[in-house]
Structure 1
Amino acid sequence: MGSPQFGLGIIDDVASMLSICALCDLHRMLKAELKSGERKVYFLMCWVHEQPQEA
């Protein structure tokens, strides 16, 4: 049978892998949100520049 230290090491490694996967998912989600925001700002700026000059 394996030692308790080996089992704890495996549990620690699994927890680390889950943490890395969660960080990757969070990064992907934030990147998608930022890209969506960039598009909104771009179209808003285009709309502002197309408006007639007043004043």
Structure 2
Amino acid sequence: MLRDKFIHYFQQWRECQLSRGEHWLTQHLAGRSPREKGTLLAAVVPDITSSSGSR
């Protein structure tokens, strides 16, 4: 029962964090050129290709 409550609260917290991030991104991308948007997104989104673990 405690585990279920924890999972429920964690999911609510995660949803809240995701919506805050979405809101922030929407505000900062509004009215910007496609080039600026690409630069901002590249800075915000981690590069998943470089973190593959193989070196």
Verify same fold: TM over 0.5. yes
> Deviation at 1:48?
1.9
Q: Which 4+ stretches in 1 moved above 6 angstroms?
A: none
Count of aligned pairs between the two proteins:
33
Unaligned runs of at least 5 residues, structure 2: 34-55
- Identity, % of aligned pairs? 15
Higher relative contact order (CA 8 A, sep 6+): 2
TM-score (normalizing by structure 2): 0.55
- Aligned AA for 1:33? Q
Larger radius of gyration: 1
More helix by share: 1
When the two chains are superposed, the root-mean-square deviation of aligned CA atoms in Å is 1.1
Q: State the Cα deviation string for residues 5-45 of structure 1 (Å, max 9, x = none).
A: xxxxxxxxxxxx00000000000000000000000010111
